[in-house]
A and B are shown apart, each in its own frame.
Chain A
Amino acid sequence: MDYTPQEMMVAAAAREIRDGEVVFTGMRLPLIAFALAKTMHAPAAIGLFEAGLMRDTPAPELLYTMGDPPNIAGALWATRMINTMGLLQQGEVDLGFIGGAQLDRFGNLNTSYLGSPEAPKTKLPGSGGAADISSLSKRFVVIMPHDRRRLVERVDYITSPGFGNGQGWRQRGGLKRGGPSAVITTLCVLGFDPSTGEAVLRSYHPGQSVASVRAETGWDLRVSEDIHETRPPTAEELAIIRRYDPQGFWTR
């Protein structure tokens, strides 16, 4: 079965959503992952969109942004951002998805500045809602391309907090809960060691290996004891993804 790296990532992201969960769905690939999870194994999942929307059905057609009119048609709630963010701060959101330009060993993310903020080498767009989702959700999942320039020992700037410099850092800083539970990349899925807060290689996608993933990672990546190959997307999952994104706008 032929599939693209993006389709692999969508399938892996959908499997992170459990039935009945309240999910901050984010942008791009997670929008399709939410539709896939709803159809496959999580029919009772609820999608919250920070701009001020709640849905319990996938949007009737492919979304390019969360504010697209098809996302508002048939929504359960169209409201203000302060309300969706308030639910997040209360601890009502089980899972949030975010992307990242730079990720480090402890799952901290940078989408703000490469180099120093005073004289940035590259000015990235900034947090959007990512700092909020990573600070306040019960857990969050990162979706990003995998290469050595992006997966680095230490991010230049923490836009979205992971486990800081190790377990206990979030609590010491005043964060009540949460942290990254998985990082889904073009090459693999990372999890996090609960005792240290450090990323560990959980599975490598078909065609990859422990060595190929480690070669593209900017620190000495630890490997989980039950390391395995990521389960590829099934024919059924691919059919749903392609029905939702027939032109392959996000998934080709």
Chain B
Amino acid sequence: MSKIMNMCDAVARFVPNGSSVVMGAALESLIPFAAGHEIIRRQIRDLTLIGPISDMLFDQMIGACCVRKVIAAWVGNVSAGLGHNYRRACELGIPQRLEVVDHSNFTVSLALLAGGLGAPFIPTYTALGTDIPQTNPTFRQSLSPFGGERVLLVPALRPNVAILHVQRSDEDGNAHAWGSLGVSEEAALASERIILVAEEIVPRQTIVSDPNRVLAPSFKVCAVVCEPGGAHPSPVQGYYNRDHEHYHEYHSATRTAEGNTEWIERWVAGVRDRAGYLEELGQERWQALQLKGHRFAAPVDYGY
């Protein structure tokens, strides 16, 4: 059954107000900016955002008043450092107060892994001695019943929806993703449902030709959105490179709340969809991010 729909419908149907949403699961690459921008355009409210580092997508959504709570290891702008909207929300309550539940990259990975395993929690040694357990009230410290050593217990996260950008998918949501995957698999398995945003839709035969590259079980996928360029300014291996300059421009532009409003108006509210965004970006700039060359993998033989 085809799950193809446009971004507008996917967000309207599957990201209601108050949802918990994983985004940016692959860290600096494959960030679903197009989906985040549609959430901003539709003025979805009271979201809980979950992710390891999110790069500047979480900052944008916080600045656009979509977010009530962040469960993450890092919120900022990987190229430029601090996220101005995150700072304004935490320090001044602008545009609104934000609840922050601190994690490290490892603990957020473990929380999603536990969710995907259907396990209640996972013990770890990481972050013992840090102040993170003080600003994450969900953690517990305990002694291992086996060796008696101190452990941090990280409870499972079960997000409502994971929004994952992938290279290619078939219309049922059987998808291939490659590169460094971060917590993409854990996020997919832990979440109740998955929205896939794909650079291209391919025949089922392309996917089943290489089942080891499939990201997640398609029965969890509720929507497949074909959105070429949907991860810009983050990179998609084999499709386009990272637009480093865009991160610096955002950083400068959003230094003030007024500047942020202008930025959102230009790049999000003032464009209809991702195609409109890429038009605003301009052909020349988009061309400069295209591949300098191909590096195809050797085919694998699934013969029997």
Contact = CB atoms under 8 A, between A and B. Distances in A.
A79 B185 CA distance: 10
B242 A123 contact: no
B109 A161 contact: no
Contacts of A112: 102, 131-132, 135
A42 interface: no
Interface stretch (B10-18, B75-83, B191-199, B254-262): B75-83
B235 interface: yes
B91 A82 contact: no
Interface in A150-165: 157-161, 164
B227 interface: no
A120 B109 CA distance: 26
Contact of B27 (A51, A117, A136): A51
Contacts, number: 191
A41 interface: no
B75 to A, nearest CB: 6
Contacts of B127: 127, 131-132, 135
Interface stretch (A173-181, A192-200, A225-233): A173-181
Interface string B13-31: 0000000000000111100
A75 to B, nearest CB: 8
Nearest to A110: B131
Contacts of A157: 131, 135
Contacts of B150: 173-174
A127 B73 contact: yes
B181 to A, nearest CB: 5
Interface of A: 27, 49-53, 64-69, 71-73, 75, 78-82, 85, 88-89, 112-113, 117, 120-132, 135-136, 157-161, 164, 169-170, 173-176
Interface of B: 26-29, 52-53, 72-76, 78-79, 81-83, 86-87, 90-91, 100, 102-107, 109-110, 113, 124-132, 134-135, 149-151, 178-186, 234-235, 237, 241-242, 244, 295
CB-CB nearest 7 A-B residue pairs: A174-B150, A67-B28, A125-B76, A123-B90, A52-B180, A173-B129, A128-B74
